[in-house]
Every structure is written in C-alpha cells, then in structure tokens.
Amino acid sequence: MLTQLSINNYALINELTIDFSSGLSIITGETGAGKSILLGALGLVLGNRADLSFLKETSKKCVVEAKLSIANYDLKNVFEELELDYDDFTIIRREILPSGKSRAFVNDTPVNLSALNDLKSLLIDVHSQHQTMQLSDADFQFSVIDALAKNGTIIASYKQGLQSLSKLKRELEKLEKNQQEAIKQYEYNLFLFNELEKAKLQIDEQQDLEEKLEKLNNIEDIKLNLSEALAVSINEEIGIQNLVFILENRLSKIAPFSKEYQELSTRITSLKIELDDIITELEEANEHVEFDPLEATQINDRLQLIYNLQKKHAVNSIGDLLIVLEDLSEKVSQVENADENIKQKKKEIEKVASELDAIASKISDARKKIIPSLQHELEVLLSDLGMANARFSIQITPTKNYFSNGKDELEFLFSANKGGNFGELKKVASGGELSRIMLSIKKILSENTQLPTIIFDEIDTGVSGEVSNKIAAIMQQMSQNMQVITITHLPQIAAKGSHHFKVFKEEINGETATQLKKLTVKERVSEIAEMLSGKALSESAIIHAKELLSP
C-alpha cells in the first residue's frame, strides 16, 4: 500500500507531500490542474525514463520518494533475488540531478531501473485508458485466466522444464552440427590420429635420443679423452691413483700424533675411495665406447619422424604432439560415437518433453475449468455497468507448440450487441467499453489474488448517470481487499471515496505551482457541488452533493 508520496522540484510542483490511507481515495481537480503531474511523478519513482525537462528549477535536483507498506505482499524472496534489503515499510527514491544524471534507491540502496521495473508490477498498478489496450494482448489475457486458475506455481514449474528442454535441444543441435562438421574431416583426422598413435611417442624420448645421437657423433673424441684420462689416472709412476696411494700412506703414519693429522688422513682416504670409483667407471665407459652405425641410423630415423610430426602439426615438443593426439582422438571418437550420443540426447529430450506435456496439460485443464465462471462474472458485471448484451467467447486450444506459459492458444472474443458476431476486443469494443471490461477484470482479480495498490486514471471517461454509480460501487468493493486510488471527473464516483484529495494550481511569488490538499467534509461538499454545477455553486447543487456524500 502506498502510504506517502513526496515530490520536490518536479514539473509545476515545488514541494509536496501526500499521505495516503487504505480504502478508496479520490483525486479530483480541474483539467490542467496537475493530476497528470502526480501520475508522472509516481511513474518516475517506479522506473519511468527521466530527463531534465522534469526539473522545475534546473539548478536544483528533483527528488520523488514513495513510502510503501508491503508486509502483506510476500515480497521477501523478490528483494533477496534483487539483492535488496527488505523492510515492511519500504522507501523508493528517485533523483534527477541538474547534470541530467538519474539515480534510484530502494531503502537507501542504489538500484538500476530494471530493478525498479521488477518491483513496479508488484507494488502499484497504474491503470489508464491507454492501458485498456492490454486487453487485446494474449499474454495479459492468459495472465488473468492463470491468476484465477491459481496456475502460478505450476507455470513456474513448467518454465523450469521449458528451460531444461530448450537447453537439451541446443545441446542436440550442437551435437548434430559437430557431427556434420566432424564427418567432413573424419578421414583426414583418422589418418593423422593413426599416424601419431603408431609413433608411440614418449614424453622424454626426444631429449634422450638427441643426447645419444650427440654421443655417437662425437665417439672418437670421447674415446681419445677417456683413454688419456685413464692414462693420467693409473700410470704406475706418475698416475694420480698411485700418487694418492703414496699420500694416504704417508699421512696414515703421522695420524696417531695429533687430531689434525688424523683428520687429514681421513679426508685423503675418502678422496682415494672416490678416485678409485671414478677410475672404475672410466674403465667401464672406455670399454663400452664404440660406434654402432645401425644404432645411429635408428636414432636418426626416429628423430626425423619426430621432427616431421612436429613440423606437420606446427608444434615444438612431444608433449604438444601428445596434446594433438588427444584432440584428434576426441574428434575421431565424436564421429564414431556421435550416433550413440545423439540417440541418448534425443531420449533425454523425449523424457523432459513428456514431463512438460503433462504439466502443460494440467495448466490447460485448470484454464478450461475456470473460463465458464470468468465469462459469467464478466457478463454480470458488465450488465451492471450498462452493457446488458455483453458476451464473451473464451476458448483454449491445446497445440503441439511450447509457449512460455504452456502449450495453449487462446481465443478471447467479445460481442457488445445482442445477436452480434464475436470479434477481437480491439476491433469490436469502443474505448468506453474497453475501460469497463478492464475495470470488471480488475474487480474479479482483486477478489481472487493479492493485487498491489491500483490507481485508476479517469477510467470513468465516457460514462455518466447510473453507470457511474455502478463503477463507484465496484471501486468501493475492490477497496475492501486493496488500496484503490481514483482520479475522476464524475461527482458520483468522487462522493464514494473514503478520502478525497483536490489538485489545484495557485500563484506563488509570481510563479504557477501545482498543489494538492486533503479535503474536509465541508470542503468535499463544495468540491462535489462544483463538479455538479460549475464554479457558481447553486443551493440545489450543494443539496445534491450532500445527498451523494450521505452513507
């Protein structure tokens, strides 16, 4: 429920604060007094586009703030999804800066306009004559039927299933597309795969082979240097091994004389052991050094194969070749396993589609069940509103197509005249008839759903007399379940409000400004009398106004 609307520096309004209550609130005023300005300000705070033309004083910012009591709307989950702080008394503020920049806040948290639009339909329903064109929109028609059929939860389930089905269909399309592309490359990829697999590459193989080849290519130098190293090591007279042996012998003789000599003797003994090991390995290496032409050829051939494969696949290592092999394996297997994968995906689609069909059938059944009572209620209400011959033909037709809200097509036809042909609302109903149909739909919805605050902007245009009394009665009934605010020019409707506000213009310091005030009982009599007879109030008009205001 809208509890307060504050407006600063907007259009013809300098500063204005309006407190609203539950029940039926009436707003009246002369044409051009500024009723549309109030709706414009409210639309701004609910997310409508803003520009600098809204600023009364271009050097100051415009601020519009709405306070709402939303404890009964069950909106905590919505606030959580929008990452907003929830409060039973929520404040929405919109600012337009002199620079033209616009800012919006919900409970002092900055938000973008999409968040405001998400909240808009859950908080305040602003209904104008222009919006009666929604009646011809299939989505709106479905929303009315589904609200009465209590289809909200099952349609949410259907939408989740539809998302899953759409995802599976995209995956199937991708599989089939990949299969077609893969088939074109299959033979070539299979050849490349077999070639790499046959090579049986090992991750460190290239480095080992290159080291072996380097050794074979330098075998003479290796043999010569190993032989000379052994000669230097084991010569009986000047060989390192013999000299180290003599050194060890000398130090062992003096080792007992001091700790220092003992340490030197131990160290030289360790050196001799290490030297003996080195010489043994040198001897073994020297014995095994020989040139094997066959081995050299095999290594050269193997390396050449590796180099050719690297060049073919534009890579620099065996590791990269193994990655290419894995990728080729996947491409080959995609083709070889594609039929099975596609078959499996189709089974998944059939399963989800079957479940979705069952849900859509339940949605359709619930719609068909509620349509007769909806038609009857609309016809009864419209009869009271001066459309005694109004008839509806609402038909639900199941299809094979998956729509966003089920699998039904809807035919929502209307006839205003006895014996007349049924036709689309926008083609056969006048503006006044559309307004009364919309009012009737809102009345029915208010009794079956938790509607937000609703604001009627001169929905009574084009009607008078007894019909206006019926419209007022319907609004009064609606206000038992929700907050109703009505902008009207009819005294019969204005008199039925629990609260009455008047919009007027006045000149302040040479400038025209829009003002709004809540009328007292006495002021209401004068306002309604003026609506009846004009500025020159007659005694009969005053009496009539009092009669209209009497319970």
Computed on alpha carbons and rounded to an integer, the radius of gyration of the chain in Å comes to 46
DSSP track, 54-68: GBSSTTS-EEEEEEE
- pLDDT at residue number 129: 65
So what's the pLDDT on residue 130?
A: 65
Burial status of residue 405 (CB atoms within 10 A of its CB: 0-12, 13-18, 19 or more): buried
Concatenated DSSP letters of 503-549: EEEEEETTEEEEEEEE--HHHHHHHHHHHHH-SS--HHHHHHHHHHH
Nearest to 94 by CA among 33, 59, 132, 43: 43
Count of Cβ atoms closer than 10 Å to residue 404 Cβ = 10
Distances (CA, A) of 18 to 35, 43, 52, 123, 303: 13, 15, 24, 17, 89
Q: Please give the Cα distance from 72 to 349 (Å, whole number).
A: 41
Q: According to the CATH classification, is domain 2-148+385-519 in 3.30.460.80?
A: no
Asked whether the beta carbons of 50 and 104 are under 8 A apart, the reply is no
Encoded tokens for 123: 């908080």
Handedness of CA 179, 185, 187, 190 (dihedral sign): negative
Closest CA to 64 of 90, 103, 28: 103
Q: Which of 417, 418, 397, 415 is nearest to 407 (CA)?
A: 397
Contact status, residue 436 vs residue 373, Cβ threshold 8 Å: no
Q: What angle do CA 24, 150, 385 make, to 5 degrees?
A: 40
Residue with tokens 């050196």: 271
CA 372 to chain centre: 37
- Residue ranges for the chain with pLDDT beneath 50: none
H or E element at residue 105: strand 102-106
Closest CA to 286 of 235, 230, 234: 230
Cα dist. 467→2, 119, 386 in Å? Answer: 28, 34, 6
> Rounded distance, CA 336 to CA 178, Å?
12
Q: Which amino acid is at 461?
A: T
Instruction: Quote the pLDDT of residue 178.
Output: 79
Q: Please state, in angstroms and rounded to a whole number, the distance separating the CA atoms of residues 522 and 298.
A: 115
Separation CA 365–CA 379 (nearest Å): 22
pLDDT at 458: 80
Cα–Cα distance list, 51 to 40, 58, 115, 484 (Å): 12, 11, 19, 29
> Mind listing the pLDDT tens digit for each residue in 109-165?
999 888 888 888 788 888 876 667 778 889 889 989 999 999 989 999 999 999 999
Q: Judge residue 4's burial from the number of C-beta atoms within 10 Å of its C-beta, 0-12 exposed, 13-18 middle, 19 or more buried.
A: middle
pLDDT of residue 69: 92
Question: Helix, strand or coil for residue 355?
Answer: helix
Q: According to the model, what pLDDT value does residue 167 have?
A: 95
**Where is 212: in which H helix or E strand?**
helix 205-217
Where do the domains of the chain lie?
A: 2-148+385-519, 174-339, 521-551
